[in-house]
Structure 1
Amino acid sequence: MLSLAACQATTGGKLTAPQVETLRQQGFQLTGSGWELNLSEKVLFGLNEDTISADHQAIVQRIGMALKDAGIERVRLDGHTDDSGSAEYNQQLSVRRAQAVARVLAEKAFPPANIEVRGLGKSRPVADNRTAAGRAENRRVAIVVTVE
């Protein structure tokens, strides 16, 4: 499964009040990294998976269209993994996960040139990798809307 958090830079570098309202309506919260989705909106990847189910594709498309409709023109996708496997494998898997989300967003919401993809591997866990639930939380892609 895949997790979403959200990243963006608008043309002016600052978010407008309507853009902020759209982010809030979609479940985003302001963090130190930018605007991110609440945990309840996460779509997580399964172990060693980099594909997105049809249901989760619909969620990604809905969020992408809402951002686009609000005038948010750019997103950054940060792929993440749990700590199972080697650092090299997890780095590659995290990139593939972010690319999978990028493909879905590019279908209807954003030109590919406006989507930045980063693989962060297992370097930034959000939960404890010693438990199955924690590892599942760490298998994610964050869609981060940055505030410049």
Structure 2
Amino acid sequence: MKIHPSLHLTWLLVAFLWITGCQSAPPKPGLSEEQVAMLKAKGFKLTDEGWAFGLSGKVLFDNNSERISDASRQTIADITRSLLKVGITGVILEGHTDNYGAPDYNRQLSERRAGSVGAVMEENGMQKQAIQLRGMGQTRPIADNATSAGRKENRRVVIIVVAD
């Protein structure tokens, strides 16, 4: 029995279409328009690392402390609920210090500060494994450490949202 060559081609074409038709398109990388709009509305700014909340509305700390004020606790809770509402389920928390104290101690203190913010985010629904902590210590000041006002600005945690 001889099979017509065009029948072979037809079956090859059917097999090819069946295989490629079963593949789903990869998800679009990045954030949705709704997510970006919410981040902007809450005061996040686009940086080299992602969308950062910390340049216009910092979570600040007293000297040598990782304790979060009640006002900052409310801000963190509001941000967390807003992130989750638009499907943003993970963050990076960067803790920072002023330049008082030994660099190693400041790195540890800055990580504890990030952990304090992370704990509030967990209390408000974010999963612990979706929160990455970074202790930056005194390595990235945003203000002059020569003044008390500058040192206060440097004692902060920055919340970063990275597009997947």
Question: 5+ unaligned residues in a row in structure 1: which ranges?
Answer: 1-10
Offset at residue 37 of structure 1 (A)? 2.6
- The answer to whether residue 124 in structure 2 is matched with residue 108 in structure 1 is yes
- For 2:101, what is the secondary structure of its paired residue? coil
- For 2:40, what is the secondary structure of its paired residue? helix
- Tell whether the 8 Å contact from 1:61 to 1:109 is kept in structure 2 after alignment: no
| Alpha-carbon distance in 2 for matches of 1:12, 1:43 | 32
Amino acid corresponding to residue 92 of structure 1 in structure 2: Q
2:110 to 81, 86, 94: 94
- The answer to whether residue 26 in structure 2 is matched with residue 47 in structure 1 is no
What residue number does 1:144 align with? 160
Offset at residue 39 of structure 1 (A)? 4.0
Give the total of aligned pairs.
138
- Tell whether the 8 Å contact from 1:43 to 1:56 is kept in structure 2 after alignment: yes
Question: 5+ unaligned residues in a row in structure 2: which ranges?
Answer: 1-26
- 29 and 98 in structure 1: CA distance in 2 versus 1, 3 angstrom threshold: same
Deviates most, 73-82 or 51-60: 51-60
- The answer to whether residue 44 in structure 2 is matched with residue 28 in structure 1 is yes
Write 1 or 2 for the structure with the bigger share of helix: 2
How much identity, in percent, do the aligned residues show?
Answer: 44
- For 1:41, what is the secondary structure of its paired residue? coil
| Alpha-carbon distance in 1 for matches of 2:84, 2:160 | 14
1:57 to 54, 60, 73: 73
Offset at residue 116 of structure 1 (A)? 0.4
Q: In terms of Rg, which structure is larger?
A: 2
TM-score by length of 1: 0.87
| Alpha-carbon distance in 2 for matches of 1:86, 1:62 | 34
With a CA cutoff of 8 Å and minimum separation of 6, indicate the structure with the bigger relative contact order. Answer: 1
| Alpha-carbon distance in 2 for matches of 1:49, 1:12 | 41
List structure 1 runs of 4+ shifted beyond 4 angstroms.
Answer: none
Amino acid corresponding to residue 77 of structure 1 in structure 2: L
- For 2:162, what is the secondary structure of its paired residue? coil
Q: RMSD value over aligned CA atoms?
A: 1.5
